[in-house]
Amino acid sequence: MIGRSASPGFAYGKILVLEDLLDSVSESKSTDVDKDISKLEEVTSEVVKALEEISSVSTLKEQREIFEAHTMLAADPSFKKEIIKFIQKEKYSLAFAVKSAGLKYMAQFEALEDDYFKERALDIKDITARFLSVILGRPFANLKDLTEEVILVAKDLTPSQTSQINKEFVKGFITELGGVTSHTAIIARTIQVPAIVGVRDLLSSLTNAQSIAMDGLSGSFHIDPSSEIISKWDSEIEREKELQLILNNYKEKPTITSDGVALKVFGNISSVEDAKAVRDAGAEGVGLLRTEFLFMETNSAPSEEKQFNFYKQIAEVMVDRPVTIRTLDIGGDKEVSYLNLEKEDNPFLGYRAIRICLDRVDLFKDQLRAILRASAFGHLKIMLPMIATCGEIRRAKEIIEECKLELSEKGIPFNERIPVGIMIEIPAAAIMADKLAEEVDFFSIGTNDLIQYTVAVDRMNDKIADLYSYFDPSVIRLIKMTIDGAKASGIEVGMCGSMASELALTELLVGLGLTSFSVTSGSVTSVRKNIIESSKAESEGLIPSILEQADREGILRLLSELPSH
């Protein structure tokens, strides 16, 4: 059987199936509305207190940040208001009202386009389950009490459950749902526990009496494995330990190819803790700072001051390393009530990202002024998402200049020469790269959307997922056009999409002329190692043959012939 890799590694052990608490609550009516509303206050206090305690004792920075966010969500008045609405209007019992409110919020996040924010639905599920455990008087699954080695199997794992994992006993986990960008997957990668997600009908065929062997990298696993498979897994586990020791040596090494070409490995982040993680992993800067969560975590747009403090914190964490801040990248399919975005038939192709910012100039200016002010404290860059035309760039630059003038008139310091670049994630932008390059200081290729738009495939649709490929010849050609366009104007071109972390493509991207790779903290050293071991000249020599290929199989065959493969 096979699923999606969420965290690499080999493991085997006895299966432990975890119950989904939400599934145990069915529709029921309230017998005393006022009493249920009063009890909600008590339940909220108990949940918030429990989350605060977990946060205070968490030793991992990533865990602390997640549970601080969970505490805020649990205490959020809007969540409580939604529960009360279900109790008063629908006459639901407290338990079913909590479940209904949780499911409503989860559905809103799951409808979002961006994978990172789509996976925040799990955080809502975690909080909902905590409320239900208190209401029903049933213990919240405590994985800390395990005394034997197991592989966790569940419909889904919440961040709270993942945070309890003790590597001494939990050797890995496999779920029916979840994604590679979820907090659960992030924690799994942080504590280096193998994880596989997205396995259909997993629970229907497994019991606690069985055992399982899993390969987190390939997403494959074997139920009741033979002694031969277990022996193979033991060898792979030892090999992984040796590899990690090797990768640790690449944290401080300069990113220079074997034939002397200097490149950069940056990190993708969304928070201050992410910034610390990529810095500690040896990243030479931040290639992508997502700012959407600032606009999605509250019921009103973040103030200029709030944004300034956040960007300033990031700049100070990274010290003198560059930080590329992507301006608001939000779409018509995202539930941000205060923006009053209309529902669209084709939100992927609609009113989103730079299109919103150029229309809602007040919103755009608040963010730009915050970034400009923070640029006095570090090496910041502005990156515009979803650019399709030169006109969009010119208008955005006009607004940036207006913000600079406003700050200058107030005597507020900022970097007057702050670099301005764009994301290349629309095929039209790749085709017009030579013209767009004349307008900006750098490019960053966003491969997640670029591939999706190029091959007309929803990357979250399992039925056609096989058409979504990093190795598609049309995608490689568009990347080549983008890099050539950047070269013509002498600007740098990096890549911040997940394709940058694909180790099988490192040499190809080096050969195409990419100047920087922006990846997750866990991929920094492995990508750097690949770059250092590659030859720019040898990789360049392969490009003409790569561009002649008609299918991905031909590209994979040529890549396998490189000396390092």
CATH of the domain at 315: 3.20.20.60
What domain range includes position 356? 264-560
Find tokens 């010290």 and name the residue: 319
Evaluate whether residue 543 is within a structural domain.
Answer: yes
Domain stop point among 86, 110, 136: 136
Q: Tens place of pLDDT for every residue, the chain, 565 residues?
A: 788 888 888 898 999 888 777 877 888 999 999 999 999 999 999 989 888 887 776 656 666 777 777 888 888 888 889 999 999 999 999 999 999 999 988 888 777 666 666 667 778 888 888 898 889 877 666 676 677 889 999 888 766 676 667 788 899 999 888 766 566 676 677 677 899 988 888 888 788 889 999 998 888 999 999 988 888 888 888 888 888 889 999 999 999 999 999 999 999 988 887 899 899 999 999 999 999 878 876 668 899 999 999 999 999 999 999 999 999 998 644 556 677 777 766 667 778 899 999 999 999 999 999 999 999 999 999 999 999 999 999 999 999 999 999 999 999 999 999 999 999 999 999 999 999 999 999 999 999 889 989 999 876 565 776 788 899 999 999 999 999 999 999 999 999 988 998 899 999 999 999 999 999 888 899 999 999 999 999 999 999 999 999 999 999 999 988 766 6
Same domain, 79 and 204: no
Helix (H, G, I), strand (E, B) or coil at 496: coil
Same domain, 347 and 294: yes
State the DSSP string of 402-469: HHHHHHHHTT----TT--EEEEE-SHHHHHTHHHHGGG-SEEEE-HHHHHHHHHT--TT-GGGGGG--
Same domain, 393 and 307: yes
Same domain, 508 and 432: yes
CA distance 396 to 388: 12
CATH number at residue 64: 1.10.274.10
Q: Please give the single-letter amino acid code of residue 545.
A: S
Find tokens 């050609």 and name the residue: 477
Q: Can you give the length of the chain in residues?
A: 565
Evaluate whether residue 356 is within a structural domain.
Answer: yes
Same domain, 309 and 190: no
Same domain, 63 and 168: no
Evaluate whether residue 194 is within a structural domain.
Answer: yes
Helix (H, G, I), strand (E, B) or coil at 521: helix
CA distance 6 to 196: 5
Same domain, 429 and 543: yes
Same domain, 90 and 162: no
Helix (H, G, I), strand (E, B) or coil at 562: coil
Same domain, 171 and 83: no
Evaluate whether residue 447 is within a structural domain.
Answer: yes
Same domain, 507 and 379: yes
Same domain, 148 and 122: no
Domain stop point among 119, 136, 153: 136
DSSP assigned state of 262: B
Domain stop point among 188, 208, 232: 232
Evaluate whether residue 1 is within a structural domain.
Answer: no
Cβ pair 363, 356 in contact under 8 A: yes
Evaluate whether residue 366 is within a structural domain.
Answer: yes
Closest CA relative to residue 352, chosen from 87, 112, 10: 112
- What ranges in 249-303 are assigned the alpha helix state H? 272-280, 292-296
Same domain, 120 and 166: no
What is the number of domains present in the chain?
3
Closest CA relative to residue 5, chosen from 169, 207, 221: 221
Evaluate whether residue 5 is within a structural domain.
Answer: no
Phi, psi for residue 253 in degrees, rounded to 5: -75, 145
pLDDT score at 332:
44
Closest CA relative to residue 185, chosen from 219, 213, 210, 149: 219
Evaluate whether residue 498 is within a structural domain.
Answer: yes
Helix (H, G, I), strand (E, B) or coil at 15: strand
CA distance 343 to 331: 10
CATH number at residue 200: 3.50.30.10
10-18, strands of its sheet edge to edge: 4-7, 195-197, 170-175, 150-154, 10-18, 211-215, 220-223
pLDDT score at 26:
86
pLDDT score at 183:
60
Q: Between β-strands 170-175 and 220-223, what pairing exists: parallel, antiparallel or unpaired?
A: unpaired
- Check the CA dihedral 312-316-320-326 and report its sign: negative
Can you read off the two tokens belonging to residue 69? 């966010």
Task: List Cα–Cα distances, 379 to 253, 275, 296, 324, 371, in angstroms.
Answer: 21, 14, 26, 9, 11
Residues designated as active site: 183, 496
